[in-house]
Amino acid sequence: MRTREGGLIVDEAAVIARVRAGEAEAYATLVRAHTAVALRAAVACGAGAEAEDVVQQAFFKAYRSLGRFKEGASFRPWLLRIVVNETRNTVRSVGRQRAVAGREADLLGGEPRIPESADPAVAVEEQERRRHLLAALDGLGEDHRQVVIHRYLLELDEAETAEALGWPRGTVKSRLSRALKKLETILPGGGEEHG
């Protein structure tokens, strides 16, 4: 199995079985394969500067809970559910909400603001679109924001989104539909230029 981040896990179930059998070092394979998406999830859900700590804590909790992991289930949605819950707990305990501009900076990470090969006007326009999108996401209710983040920012399919959020697939479909309609009304130009 190849992860979207390019990591390779030959047989995820076999790795989990090895960890359950006491081979703790095998867990590093899962950590390497899923760290990038876990970090994106933490940042997208508002962890900000604490994203790495949140992810580390989530991996630790997942490791401790592997005994309760459902045989044959996909590890990634299960892990992302832990990351999202850990992010909520961290944000709640610290009592702060990240500003849209701060979250945008975190999402961009180490990427250059204006790529060398890009037209500066196009780069500025793209930054503006991203700022509008993040502001629009902040304008959604929690359930709608989460379903959009999981489906599009974390690139989970519908079944993985349902599993990660603990919702039925029909709920994912309906909430995603409502969220996208709401985004169309919030985004400049009615969402036409944003896809």
pLDDT confidence tier of residue 54, bands split at 50, 70 and 90: very high
**Residue 43 sits in the same domain as residue 112:** no
Domain that holds residue 188: 100-195
Residues 75, 155, 29, 85, CA torsion sign? negative
Which of 63, 98, 133 is the last residue before a domain boundary? Answer: 98
Residues 90 and 163 occupy one common structural domain: no
Q: What is the pLDDT of residue 186?
A: 86
User: How much is the pLDDT for 94?
Assistant: 63
pLDDT tens-digit readout, 106-126: 555 545 555 555 566 777 787
Residue ending a domain, among 98, 113, 145, is: 98
User: How many structural domains compose the chain?
Assistant: 2
Tell me the whole-structure pTM to 2 decimals.
0.68
pLDDT digits (tens, 9 = 90+) for 68-95: 999 889 999 999 999 999 998 888 776 5
Lowest mean pLDDT among 9-13, 15-19, 26-30: 9-13
What kind and span of H or E run contains 11? Answer: none
CATH number at residue 164: 1.10.10.10
Averaged pLDDT of the chain: 82
3-state secondary structure 67-118: HHCCCCCCHHHHHHHHHHHHHHHHHHHHCCCCCHHHHHHHHHCCCCCCCCCC
Residue corresponding to tokens 């095998």:
26
Q: How far apart are CA 47 and CA 84, in angstroms?
A: 9
Q: Distances from the Cα of 152 to the Cαs of 22, 24, 51, 148, 156, in angstroms?
A: 36, 33, 19, 6, 7
